[in-house]
Amino acid sequence: MGADALRKPRGAREVKAVEAAADRAFFILGGVAALWLAAVLLRDSLQWSRVWFLLVFWLVLAYLALPRLNRVLTRIYLPDYFVGRARTSDGLLGDPVNLALLGDADRIHCTMRRAGWTRADELGWTSSWRIVTATLLRKSYGSAPVSPLFLFGRQQDFAYEQEVDGSPGKRHHIRFWSCPPGWMLPGGIPVDWLAAGTYDRSVGLSLFTLQVTHKVAESIDAERDHVLASLQNAEPGVPIRTIRDFSTGYHSRNGGGDTIETDGNLPIVDLQPFPVPAGQPTEPGSRSARRPAPVVFGSLLVAGRGLAALALAGGVLAPGDRPLEVSLGLPSGMAEALEGLLVPATVVVAAFGAGELLLAWLIFNGRNWARITAMALSAAAIILQATAVLNGAALPGFGDNLVGFSLDVLLLIALSSQRARAFAHRRTRQPGGTLAQPSEPPRPR
């Protein structure tokens, strides 16, 4: 146990352990529920009148079920230390690390600009929509975002690219990660940055998740040499040392299922002798500390649940001149029996709705206990649904609780994601709830 853990009060350690256990349980339950939802959608899409459900089935399978399944499985069979490969957000082995650098971030930014590279935009709502429209309409987008890959447990600090033929579907690109303080390559060789350069040749479907993604050219060594040539043109005489056979030469596949091959050599580019010229524009930070999309999406789902409860309570409390059996759709005998419970029950529903709105606001602002509470409510609803099915009830289907079940699954997937956990933990650690630079928490065990 580390010194920081020993200094924490015992109660705080116990709370943290309970939260970690809850996160693991919700993470796994979210994956199982997503697979169940995909199976339900596939069943409903087999009817000609609902064949359009195949699109919904693909979206759920590719963007919810398979990524979560890969994340759970890779945590079991892949080592959690440096193996010379980046990882995808789903935990799969991604692009090989094929370049190392010495020097600070400003020196890298200056050299990359001089070498004719463009810094990639951060991945967000606007940039994601822009790259989709640019790809479909075959428009140029020279600073299109790249997908996140992870090294040292965190996303790349920044990426650079060169668009080819004015198409965002084809481009040279390279991601950069700063090394942890004191970290060395195997063999005791110190470097400041590691990078992974590959060439995107087209757009297609991932072999492992069926998501739309860029397809990578097989020879990553050619892209590594292209990057080196551009750096040498920008800084003639730049020292480059190559570690021969840093990794065994191999043929393999990246996180999208594309075949890749490399000779295993690792060049180390030393930019330290080249100071940044005066007057060079400064670069923004590595990543802005914006709220992750899963947090925004999850808080909206919780808020929607609260608004629905308030609408239900308002409809019951203000039935107008309609009899109770008409306003609630109940038989007259049952309506009379429930007459005395109407106001207390409606108050409870209204209080639940107000509590959900408060919970959504707290989730949006990064309160970890609120995130766990919201997941617990959705998990309870999913477990109750599963229990009813095991006891003979019908599976949720089109027009039969499918929407409510789907929203609970979506909420559980969103708020149990790594990005949502990292955001909540970061806000919890920071005094006053201020944002810190993002870092990925340990993957669920």
Over pLDDT 70: what percentage of the chain? 81
Please state, in angstroms and as integers, the Cα–Cα distance from residue 370 to each residue in 302, 305, 420, following that order: 11, 15, 12
Q: What is the pLDDT, as a whole number, of residue 399?
A: 58
pLDDT tens per residue, range 379-402: 999 999 888 888 877 767 655 677
At residue 437, the pLDDT reads 43
Residue 329 has pLDDT above 90, yes or no: no
pLDDT tens track for 417-430? 888 988 888 755 55
Reported as a pLDDT band with limits 50, 70 and 90, residue 179 is very high
d(CA 164, CA 203): 13
Residue 95: exposure state from Cβ atoms within 10 A (0-12, 13-18, ≥19): buried
State which of 15-29, 30-44, 100-114 shows the largest mean pLDDT.
100-114
Interval 264-320: pLDDT, tens: 899 999 999 888 777 666 666 555 457 888 999 999 999 999 998 888 877 765 555
How much is the mean pLDDT over the chain?
A: 82
pLDDT at 416: 93
Is the Cβ–Cβ distance between 175 and 196 less than 8 Å? yes
**Where exactly are the structural domains of the chain?**
8-74+290-433, 83-270
Q: Is the Cα torsion angle 122, 123, 124, 129 positive or negative in sign?
A: positive
According to the model, what pLDDT value does residue 195 have?
Answer: 96
pLDDT at 349: 84
Which pLDDT does position 346 carry in this prediction? 80
- Alpha-carbon span 445 to 442, nearest angstrom: 8
Give residue 386's pLDDT. Answer: 87
pLDDT, one tens digit per residue, over 113-172 is 999 999 999 877 787 788 778 877 778 888 888 989 999 988 999 999 999 888 778 899
- Residue 15 has a pLDDT of 75
Q: What is Dmax (Cα atoms) for the chain?
A: 92
Task: Please tell me the least confidently modeled range out of 94-98, 244-248, 439-443.
Answer: 439-443
Question: CA nearest 370: which of 312, 419, 428, 409?
Answer: 428
CB 427 within 8 A of CB 435: yes
What per-residue confidence (pLDDT) applies to 440?
A: 41
CA-nearest of 189, 198, 183, 190 to 82 is 183
Cα 355 to Cα 348: distance, rounded to the nearest angstrom: 10
pLDDT band at 337 (very low <50, low <70, confident <90, very high): low
> Model's pTM, two decimal places?
0.77
What pLDDT score does 269 carry?
95
- Phi, psi for residue 169 in degrees, rounded to 5: -80, -20
435/31: higher pLDDT: 31
Q: Which amino acid is at 135?
A: T
